[in-house]
A and B are shown apart, each in its own frame.
Chain A
Amino acid sequence: MIGNILLLSMREIRRNVLRSILTTLGIVIGVAAVIVVVTLGAGTKAQVQTEISKLGSTMLTVFPGQRRMRGAAQSAPPFEIEDVHALRRETVMLSSVAPMSIQRQMVVFGNGNRRSQVVGTDREFVNVRNWDLAAGRLFSAAEEQTGKSVCIIGQTVKTELFKDEPYMGNVLRIGKASCEVIGLLEPKGQVMFSGDQDDVVVVPIKYFQRRIAGNTNVDQIYVSALDDSLVEAAQAEVEVIMRERRPSQPGAEDLFSVRGVQEMSTAFQSSTTVMTGFLSAIAAISLLVGGIGIMNIMLVSVTERTREIGIRMAIGAREKEVLLQFLVEAAMLAGFGGLVGIALGLGGAMALAPLLNVPFIIQPDMMVMAFIFSALVGVVFGYMPARSAARLDPIDALRHE
């Protein structure tokens, strides 16, 4: 029987092509919205995962934190290089420790210039960041101690400033200072928190303090635990040492904070969760509105087709068959809208993914769910009109003008 009902419903939908399309518009938009959100959400999640692995999941960052002065929050005093030495000396669970001072500076070579990230650090930098050299060498111990004007550049700086010219041994100007290029970093790519990581010039921390920042500060300290499983223990170790070195008022907050990459990504994830929830609510509302649209049109359709329903009943359609036909019609309309919505959503996500810098990841299970759900919307909202059609009295229906 269901085969016949499908046939009858198909013919009915075909009879009213334009109206059928308009009817399903709400569902189309709703489903498309869901698919876009879910696809981009999945892309973002995957992106964050890759970035965590890019940054290194064992990495922790130590910030100076904040202190309260007469009620107002203020930055705590900055770290000094001695803090880095202390962490190196006194910890056992860290594989490496690196100071990290960062400024955006105008970097010039020849006629070219660009604002790049200038990082003051030391050799340990490559270990903490899990970042290898593509060419050249790291700073020597002597260069670090004297703050020699040498630098290691990222891929973007190389391609944008040096283009095809040899970079090794050439002199790069950073603000008012200058340095000789001794190495090139491997490409690292985009990171959501800090943009293009390859747009970087790495210099010895001492050179950075003297020639660029003009102070003896260390903005942050990057440390790396020996192993994934030791990250928490390493964090505790760092906290003990830093508390000793930077005592705060009893009961007050620490004058530093230690954050893992995992925490940063969790914070990021929770903000995307809020966003996803918000967009999902919009999607749900538009599906609801779409369902009401279908119900509305089906009700109109029942009134308009009263005479036809009478004919069907006279010909021998049972109540059940009339009910099923209208239900199947509604479900088919909604399901069809769902399919179009899925296609549109995928197209939209595919177009948006590169703009938002996230990978395009197809979620087949979500597509199946969106389709089933939209057909279900059709059944739920089609039931009332279908029942009123099935309950018509054939004599009245036939007489209907």
Chain B
Amino acid sequence: MAESDLATKAHDGPVVAFEHVAKVYGDGEMAVRALDDVTFDIYPGEFVAVMGSSGSGKSTTMNILGCLDTPTHGRYLFKGVDVKTLTRDQRALLRRHYLGFVFQGFNLLSRTTALENLELPLIYRRISKADRRDMAMEALHAVGLENREHHTAAELSGGQQQRVAIARAMVTSPSLLLADEPTGNLDTARSQEIMELLARLNSEDGLTIVLVTHEEEMAAFAGRRLEFRDGNIVHESKSQAA
């Protein structure tokens, strides 16, 4: 599948769908069943919180959602495409065009300015230099850091770094933004700001977001929550907050 094929595939259904997904690490007696039998859909414009304690399978879910990993059993459909049938490079292209990542540890490139960090996914998408700059500046503006474009990661506070990371994830207008404990390294006030930013991107720009967290207050920003325990979804609820 060429890069352009991935880009033109139109799809009306859910952005992503888990169909009886199981993930087993290792084999024989050493086998660990990280995901047992998980089924759910996420539709465009949703803000979903994936909750659970460590070992509940939420990280594995995140990796599969991010096309970094593939299910052992069952199917994971991204815009109707079974990700397991894709090669490593095709999955990289899928991430490049449709996915945005925000991590707990920010994961900005060190000694690199905010602007250059934002340009990175655009460079991989081969956006022209002029457009790249405009798009990056626009994304920085959206996260309220329009004056910080020439600051390196070390010159930004944690909250600001995470804003840059969010800007980097959304600068390509992804179909799905995956946020893995984005407030885990931030204090309460900063966490609140980041969550408000995500909620705003969801409600105003219609950005589809999956948030992995174990904190009740953060999950409260999401419109829907999936609670994991021992590799299964044990509770699913819609919140009125969204």
Contacts and interface: CB of A to CB of B under 8 A. Distances in A.
Contacts of A311: 107, 109
A395 B69 contact: yes
Interface stretch (A4-12, A49-57, A222-230): A4-12
Contact of A11 (B63, B68, B88, B116): B116
Contact of B112 (A4, A11, A313, A315): A11
B124 A317 contact: yes
Contact of B97 (A7, A316, A317): A316
Contact of B126 (A4, A11, A319, A395): A4
A104 interface: no
A191 to B, nearest CB: 59
Nearest to B169: A315
A135 interface: no
A320 B112 contact: no
Contacts of A315: 95-96, 101, 120-121, 124, 168
B141 interface: no
B86 interface: no
Contacts, number: 65
B63 A395 contact: yes
A94 to B, nearest CB: 77
A163 interface: no
Interface string A389-400: 000001100100
B131 interface: no
A318 interface: yes
Interface of A: 1, 4, 7-8, 11, 15-16, 307-308, 310-321, 394-395, 398
7 contacts: A8-B120, A307-B107, A311-B107, A316-B95, A316-B99, A318-B89, A398-B107
Contact of B121 (A1, A15, A16, A316): A316
Nearest to B168: A315
Interface string B56-69: 00000001001011
Nearest to B126: A4
Nearest to A1: B126
Closest 7 CB pairs of A and B: A316-B96, A316-B95, A15-B111, A318-B92, A318-B89, A315-B121, A314-B101
A314 B93 CA distance: 10
B102 to A, nearest CB: 10
Nearest to B107: A311
A8 B119 CA distance: 10
Interface residues of B, number: 28
Given A4-B124, A11-B116, A316-B121, A308 B109 contact: yes
Interface in B98-134: 99, 101, 103, 107, 109-112, 116, 120-121, 123-126
Nearest to B113: A11
Contacts of A11: 112, 116
A132 to B, nearest CB: 69
Nearest to B127: A4
Given A15-B112, A398-B107, A314 B120 contact: no
A325 to B, nearest CB: 11
Contacts of B97: 316
Contacts of B120: 8, 312, 315
Contacts of A307: 107
A314 B124 contact: no
Contacts of A318: 88-89, 92-93
B114 to A, nearest CB: 14
A312 to B, nearest CB: 7
A1 B127 CA distance: 11
B107 A8 contact: no
A11 B117 CA distance: 11
B92 A319 contact: yes
B200 to A, nearest CB: 23
Contacts of A7: 123
A7 B126 CA distance: 12
A321 B88 contact: no
| Residue with the greatest number of chain A CB neighbours at <10 A, chosen from B63, B101, B111, B124 | B124
A29 B36 CA distance: 60
Given A4-B124, A7-B123, A314 B66 contact: yes
Contacts of A15: 110-112
A313 B96 CA distance: 9
A317 B96 CA distance: 7
Contacts of B110: 15, 308
Contacts of A8: 120, 123
A313 B68 CA distance: 9
A398 B103 contact: yes
Contacts of A394: 68
Contacts of B111: 15-16
A308 B120 CA distance: 12
A395 B70 CA distance: 12
A313 B126 contact: no
B113 to A, nearest CB: 10
B95 A321 contact: no
Contacts of A1: 126
A150 B171 CA distance: 97
A378 to B, nearest CB: 22
A314 B95 contact: yes
Interface string B79-97: 0000000001100111111
